[in-house]
Amino acid sequence: MARVREISSGRKPLKRAYVAMFLWFTGRAIQAAAKADNQVKSEFEALPENFTFSLGCLPDGPWMVVGKKNGVVKYLGGKLPEKQHVRLAIKNLDAGFLILSFQESTALATTRNRLVTDGEVPYALAVIRILDIVEVYLLPKIIASLAVKRYPKHWSVARKLKGRIAIYTRALLGL
Amino acid sequence: MLLPDYYEFCCRVKLIAGHDALEKIPELLAAKGARKPLIITDKGVAGAGLVDIVSRAAGKLDPNLVNDSVPPDSDLKVVHELAKLYQENACDALIAVGGGSVMDTAKGVNIVVSENATDLMAFSGVGALKRPLKPLVAVPTTAGTGSEVTQVAVIKDHDKHLKMAFGSYFLLPDIAILDSRMTLTMPPFITAMTGMDAMSHAVEACYCLQKNPLSDAHALAAVSLLYAYLPQAVNNPSDRDARLSMAIGACLAGMAFSNSMVGLVHNLGHATGSVCGVPHGLCMAILLPYGLEYNLHKREEAIAGLLLSMAGPHIYKETPEEQRAQKVISLIRKLNDDLHAKTGGRHARSLSEVKDRDGKPAVPREALPQIAQAALLDGASVYNPEETDYEDNLMVLEAAWEGKPLDRAKVKKG
C-alpha cells in the first residue's frame, strides 16, 4: 500500500493554547489528587510500578503525560515517551477543544469515535475513572456534570471542599 | 426516537440465509478467487456431524484441510498451528464452522496468514490492521454470539494467562452463511441460553450509548424474531423455520450490538463468567432484566419501544405509555420463567439457581464482591447509559442472585 502523508490541521493557535493549558493543569492536578484523594490514590496503587499514560490530540499534540515511579505519581510534561501503558488520543485538535471545553462529555466523545484508546482495557478504565474524579474536583458542579456520566452527589461536602482546596493548591504550586 | 448528532454504522458482510444456503459455498468461494479453503472447527461441532453437512453441501472438501483442534476457549498456540497448516498447504481462504471460539480463532489465523506475521499479538488492539485479509466464510452453529458479523476477536494466551482483543473492520468475515441445518441438533437448554445471549445483544443495542437509527432497526427486527421463535425452537428443536429465524435474529442482533456496543448486562456477565465459570448465555439471560431496570430512568422511551417488537401492536396500544417499559421487563422475566420450565429447570432465572456440573451452586453469594470488582476491569461499562461503580455492581448482582426485581429507588441517578 502506498505511504500516505498524514495531513495536519491548521495551527489554530488559540484552540491549541487552550488545550495545552488545560492538559498542563490537569496533569498537575492528577499528581495532586494522587496525594489528596483516597480513591485516586487507591486507583494508582492498583496500577503497576512505572505505569505511564498520556492524554492528548492527534496528530502532533499537545499531550499530557503522567507516570508512577517508586509509588509516587508525577506529571511528566508534554513529551510522549517511547513506551506507555495507556494512550488516550483525541482524533484532532477541534475534537480535543470540544471535549476539554466540556461541550461534549468523555462518554459522548467515545461513542462518536473521537477518542482512541490504546493499551490494556483495565488500565484504560482506571485512567478514565481517575480523570473523572479529577474533573469533579477541578470544575464547578454545573460544568463537571457535562464532563462526567454521573456527578457524584453522594460525596460528602467535606470531601469535595477539602479535596478541591488541596488539589488546587498542590496543582498551582506543582506539589 | 433519540437521533444522535453523529454516528457510525458498518456491516459489510455478505449474508446468505436459507434451509439450503450451504450449497452456495463453492460459488461464493469462486467469486472470491479461492479454491482451496482451510476449514476450522471444534471437536463438538465435528462430532455432531455438522462439518460433514458442510462438506457434502460445499462439494467434497479435502479432509486434510479440515481441522477440529479449536479448544472451548480460543488459544494462541492453536492459531499459530492452524496458520502453519494454511501456509504449508497453500490454502487461499478460511471457512469457520462453529461458535464464538471457532470464529475468533479463524479471525486470528486470518491475521497471521494475511500479514505473514510471526506473532499474532503484534496486531492486538484496535486499528492495527491496515489492509483487507484473506477471504473468510463464517458458518455459525449456534444462534447466539453473532460473531459471524462482528469486527472483534478475543484470543487467549494460556501460557501467559492473557486475553487479547483484536478490533478492526478488516476482521469482519466476507461471507456469513446461516443455514437451519447447523442448529437443528442443538439441545433445548443450549438453544435457550444462546438465544437469550442474542436477545441480550439486541436489547442492549437499543439502549447503549452508541445506539443509532441503523443499529435500532437491526436490533428491533432481531427482538421481534428472537422473542417469537425462541420458545418455538426450544419446544420443537427440529422446527427448521424456527431455527432459521433464530439464526437470522442472532445475526441481526450481532450487527446491531457491534455498532451500538453493549453495557451493564455484558459488563457483569463477563465478570460472572470469569469468576465463577458460568456460561455466557446464562449470565445474559439472568442479568438482562436487571440491565433494563438499572438504566430505565435514562432510556425509558427506548425500552418502551421494544414492546411493539415483542408483543405486537395490539398489546402495545393497550398498554399505557408509562407502563410500557415495565411491561418489557416483565415479558423478559416471563420468557426466562418459560425457558426454565421447558428445560427442566436447567435454564436458571437467578444467579443462586445456577448449578455447576456436580449440581452444586456455581455462584456462591460470597463471590458477589469479587464479581463486582472484576466488572470494573471490563470495557462494556463505558457504553452503559448510567455510570456504574463497585457499589452499583454489587447491588445489581445481589438482586440477580436473589432473583428479585431491582429496588430502583437505590439506583444512583446521574
Q: What is the mean pLDDT of residues B136-148?
A: 95
Asked whether the beta carbons of B277 and B356 are under 8 A apart, the reply is yes
Give chain B positions within 8 Å (CB) of A124.
379
Q: What is the mean pLDDT of residues B362-390?
A: 94
Using alpha carbons, select from B221, B260, B75, B93 the residue that is nearest to residue B153. Answer: B75
Q: How far apart are CA B83 and CA B33, in angstroms?
A: 20
Number of CB atoms found within 10 A of residue B315's CB: 14
Give chain B positions within 8 Å (CB) of A155.
none
In whole angstroms, what separates CA A21 from the centre of its chain? 12
pLDDT at B352: 97
Q: How far apart are CA B395 and CA B369, in angstroms?
A: 10
Decide if B382 and A151 are in contact by the 8 Å CB cutoff.
no
Q: Residue B144 — very low, low, confident or very high, per pLDDT cuts 50/70/90? A: very high
Q: Does B10 touch chain A (CB under 8 A)?
A: no
Q: Which chain B residue lies closest to A86 (C-alpha atoms)?
A: B125
Give chain B positions within 8 Å (CB) of A148.
387, 414
Q: Which chain B residue lies closest to A120 (C-alpha atoms)?
A: B125
Q: Residue A25 — very low, low, confident or very high, per pLDDT cuts 50/70/90? A: very high
Asked whether the beta carbons of B404 and B292 are under 8 A apart, the reply is no
Per-residue pLDDT tens over the stretch B200-242: 999 999 999 999 999 999 999 999 999 999 999 999 999 999 9
Disruptive mutation site among A38, A87, A150 for chain B (greatest number of B CBs within 10 Å)? A150
Decide if B382 and A107 are in contact by the 8 Å CB cutoff.
yes
pLDDT at A9: 61
pLDDT at B375: 95
Q: Does B7 touch chain A (CB under 8 A)?
A: yes
pLDDT at A8: 64
Q: What is the mean pLDDT of residues A44-66?
A: 94
CA of B377 to nearest chain A CA: how many angstroms apart?
4
Per-residue pLDDT tens over the stretch B83-134: 999 999 999 999 999 999 999 999 999 999 999 999 898 888 777 888 999 9
B154 against B107, higher pLDDT? B107
CA of A152 to nearest chain B CA: how many angstroms apart?
8
pLDDT at A7: 65
Interface subset of A 113-172, CB within 8 angstroms of B: 113, 116-119, 121-122, 124-125, 128, 148-151, 153-154
Q: How far apart are CA B191 and CA B347, in angstroms?
A: 10
CB burial string A61-71: b at 16+ within 10 A, e below: bbbbbbbbeee
Q: What is the second-level CATH architecture of the domain B14-182?
A: 3-Layer(aba) Sandwich (3.40)
A120: left (phi over 0), alpha (psi -120 to 50) or beta: beta
pLDDT at B259: 93
> Percent of chain B beyond pLDDT 70?
99
Q: Residue A119 — very low, low, confident or very high, per pLDDT cuts 50/70/90? A: confident
Residue B219 neighbours by CB under 8 Å, 6+ apart: B201, B202, B203, B205, B206, B211, B252, B253, B256, B257, B260
The CATH label, of 3.30.1950.10, 3.10.129.10, 3.40.50.620, 3.30.1050.10, for the domain at A13-173 is: 3.30.1050.10
Q: How far apart are CA A29 and CA A22, in angstroms?
A: 10
The minimal CB distance from B412 to the residues A110, A124, A150 is found for: A150
Residue A100 pLDDT > 70: yes
Residue A1 pLDDT > 60: no
Decide if A150 and B130 are in contact by the 8 Å CB cutoff.
no
Per-residue pLDDT tens over the stretch B34-45: 999 999 999 999
List alpha helices for B183-212, DSSP H.
Answer: 188-207
Using alpha carbons, select from A10, A11, A73 the residue that is nearest to residue A42. Answer: A73
Residue A6 pLDDT > 90: no
Q: What angle do CA B388, B391, B395 make, to 5 degrees?
A: 95
Q: What is the second-level CATH architecture of the domain B188-410?
A: Up-down Bundle (1.20)
Q: Residue A2 — very low, low, confident or very high, per pLDDT cuts 50/70/90? A: low
Give chain A positions within 8 Å (CB) of B126.
116-118
Determine the 3-state secondary structure of B65 from DSSP.
helix
Q: What is the mean pLDDT of residues B372-387?
A: 93
Domain ranges of chain A: 13-173
Q: How far apart are CA B72 and CA B194, in angstroms?
A: 15
Q: What is the mean pLDDT of residues A72-99?
A: 92
Q: Residue A61 — very low, low, confident or very high, per pLDDT cuts 50/70/90? A: confident
> Average pLDDT over chain B, rounded to whole?
94
Decide if B8 and A124 are in contact by the 8 Å CB cutoff.
no
Q: What is the mean pLDDT of residues B163-171?
A: 87
B200 against A148, higher pLDDT? B200
Residue A90 pLDDT > 60: yes
Q: What is the mean pLDDT of residues B9-33?
A: 95
Per-residue pLDDT tens over the stretch B268-308: 999 999 899 999 999 999 999 999 999 999 999 999 999 99
Reported pTM: 0.92
Give the lowest-confidence range in A18-32, B153-167, B208-222.
B153-167
Amino acid (one-letter) located at B335: L
Edge-to-edge strand ranges of the sheet holding B136-140: B14-18, B175-179, B136-140, B93-98, B37-40, B66-67
Max distance between CA atoms of chain B, in angstroms, equals: 65
Q: Does B376 touch chain A (CB under 8 A)?
A: yes
> Which CA distances in Å does A171 have to A25, A75, A163?
7, 10, 12
Give chain B positions within 8 Å (CB) of A153.
412
Q: Residue A55 — very low, low, confident or very high, per pLDDT cuts 50/70/90? A: very high
The minimal CB distance from A1 to the residues B125, B126, B131 is found for: B131
Decide if A149 and B414 are in contact by the 8 Å CB cutoff.
yes
pLDDT at B162: 72
Number of CB atoms found within 10 A of residue B331's CB: 17
Determine the 3-state secondary structure of B144 from DSSP.
coil
pLDDT at A112: 87
Domain ranges of chain B: 14-182, 188-410
Cell numbers for A165: 482546596
Determine the 3-state secondary structure of A35 from DSSP.
helix
Cell numbers for B98: 462453529
Decide if B209 and A107 are in contact by the 8 Å CB cutoff.
yes
Asked whether the beta carbons of B214 and B259 are under 8 A apart, the reply is yes
Q: Residue A132 — very low, low, confident or very high, per pLDDT cuts 50/70/90? A: very high
Q: Does A3 touch chain B (CB under 8 A)?
A: no
The minimal CB distance from A150 to the residues B209, B210, B387 is found for: B387
Edge-to-edge strand ranges of the sheet holding A86-90: A72-75, A63-69, A52-57, A86-90, A115-119
Decide if A148 and B387 are in contact by the 8 Å CB cutoff.
yes
> Percent of chain B beyond pLDDT 90?
86
Give chain B positions within 8 Å (CB) of A121.
165, 377-379
Q: Does A105 touch chain B (CB under 8 A)?
A: no
Q: Which chain B residue lies closest to A107 (C-alpha atoms)?
A: B382
Q: Whose grid coordinates read 492459531? A: B79
